Structures are given as C-alpha cells and as structure tokens.
A and B are shown apart, each in its own frame.
Chain A
Amino acid sequence: DAGVIQSPRHEVTEMGQEVTLRCKPISGHDYLFWYRQTMMRGLELLIYFNNNVPIDDSGMPEDRFSAKMPNASFSTLKIQPSEPRDSAVYFCASSDRGRSGANVLTFGAGSRLTVL
C-alpha cells in the first residue's frame, strides 16, 4: 500500500481565497482523521470520520472550515475564506481501529498551507 496520500504538499494562497486539501486513506481503514500542527498549538484534532460519517467535529475551529468524506477512499478539508492564522501543516491519518482495537494511526506526509 502507498500509505496515506495527501495533496497538495504545499499551498501558498492569499487571504480570502478558498483552500481545498485532499486525502486518500489506506484501503480498508475505516477511520479517517484530520489534524492541524502549528508551533504554538501543537497537534490538534480537527475532525474524524468512521465509515465515511463524521463522528466528532468539535475541533473544527470555526465555520470557515468544513470536511467531507464522500466515499471510503477520499476526503477533503476546505477552508473558505482562508486567513493568515490558518497557516499550518494539515495532516490526514487513517486507522483500522475496528480490527486492531488499539487505534494505530497512519499519517500522511502533510499539506503545508501558507496564507499571505
């Protein structure tokens, strides 16, 4: 398996623009997580899905953020409109918690977002 695949790896945009980050989880994994990493706040869980259904979105910072998982092999995190304080590395991770029980997360390489 190629692992968790994220795109784009780097995104530079201007304040007010829409940003869409994409994630392909590992085939067979039934959980998908979106995290944000910054120097100031560390690693934050934004939202997670189980079998394509959002379970907990309490970490989504505000209404400008939205996430979808239309099928088992694809998820998006959208920011509209973007602001400079959204600059961070966004990670997608997946797991097969249902089978392993221990919730081992496999992370993608991350999408580094810079909002000017």
Chain B
Amino acid sequence: GDSVTQMEGPVTLSEEAFLTINCTYTATGYPSLFWYVQYPGEGLQLLLKATKADDKGSNKGFEATYRKETTSFHLEKGSVQVSDSAVYFCALYNTNAGKSTFGDGTTLTVKP
C-alpha cells in the first residue's frame, strides 16, 4: 500500500535558519503530494501542494518540489521565524487508493 516517510523530529532551529524537512513516499500511479501544518491546539491546515511531477508548491515562504525520480517532496524555507513552530505533515492522495496517506509528522521548534 501507499506510505509516507518523514524525517524524524523534533527539529530545533534558531530564528532565520534554513529549514529542510525530508519526505519520501511509496505509491502506485501518480499521487498528489501535500504538506499540512498543525499549530498547537488546532487542526491540520494545508500549507502547500503539488499535483504532478516537477511541480513546485509554495506558500508563506515554504517550498516543496515534486520529484518523481526520487519519490520525494522535501519541505524547505530559507529563513524560519518563531511563528513557524508547529508540527508538519507530509501526505499524498492516490486516486487508486481513494484516500490520503499521512506521514508521522515532524515537530519544528524555532527559538529566538
């Protein structure tokens, strides 16, 4: 079946540092890929998405590129802020499976 593997956390960075959270996936066909973010006490919310190979999703300074050859969708941000502290989930949606598959989440803490 489909699976998503995320870089294990927690990740702690200083403000303005560069962020990378790795995500790789296993799926049949051509899934859509997503990053969701969960702030404390809230539900998950969509951060960005990419629906086909080589697409780049971007939002709020975060970016991720759909790499089919390496089955990856790594999340990056050039300069993190304290307000970026949250849990980040990589996910895929496979039409064949009919449902989304989530990674385990990576907790990011940004210190001033």
Chain A residues within CB distance 8 Å of chain B: 4, 33, 42-43, 45, 48, 55-56, 91, 93, 101-110
Given contacts A42-B105, A102-B32, contact A55 B98 (CB under 8 A): yes
Measured CB to CB, the closest approach of chain A to B3, in angstroms, equals: 12
Q: Do residues B34 and A104 form an inter-chain contact, with CB atoms below 8 A?
A: yes
Measured CB to CB, the closest approach of chain B to A110, in angstroms, equals: 5
Chain B residues within CB distance 8 Å of chain A: 32, 34, 36, 41-46, 49, 51, 89, 93, 98-100, 102, 104-105
B residues near A102, Cβ cutoff 8 Å: 32, 49, 51, 93
A residues near B89, Cβ cutoff 8 Å: 43
**Total number of residue pairs linking A and B with CB closer than 8 Å:** 48
Q: Do residues B102 and A91 form an inter-chain contact, with CB atoms below 8 A?
A: no
Contact pick for B102, options A43, A103, A110, CB 8 Å: A43
Q: Do residues B43 and A110 form an inter-chain contact, with CB atoms below 8 A?
A: yes
A residues near B100, Cβ cutoff 8 Å: 45, 103, 105
In the complex, the chain A residue whose C-beta lies closest to that of B44 is A107
In the complex, the chain A residue whose C-beta lies closest to that of B89 is A43
Q: Do residues B105 and A104 form an inter-chain contact, with CB atoms below 8 A?
A: no
B residues near A55, Cβ cutoff 8 Å: 98
Q: Do residues B32 and A103 form an inter-chain contact, with CB atoms below 8 A?
A: yes
Cα distance A103–B91 when bound, in Å? 11
Q: List 30 A-B contacts (CB under 8 A).
A: A4-B43, A33-B99, A42-B104, A43-B89, A43-B102, A43-B105, A45-B99, A55-B98, A56-B98, A91-B43, A91-B44, A93-B43, A93-B44, A101-B32, A101-B51, A102-B32, A103-B99, A103-B100, A104-B46, A105-B36, A105-B44, A105-B46, A105-B100, A106-B45, A106-B46, A107-B36, A107-B43, A107-B44, A107-B45, A109-B43
Which residue of A4, A56, A107, A108 has the most chain B CB atoms within 10 A of its CB atom? Answer: A107
B residues near A109, Cβ cutoff 8 Å: 41-43
A residues near B41, Cβ cutoff 8 Å: 109
B residues near A42, Cβ cutoff 8 Å: 102, 104-105
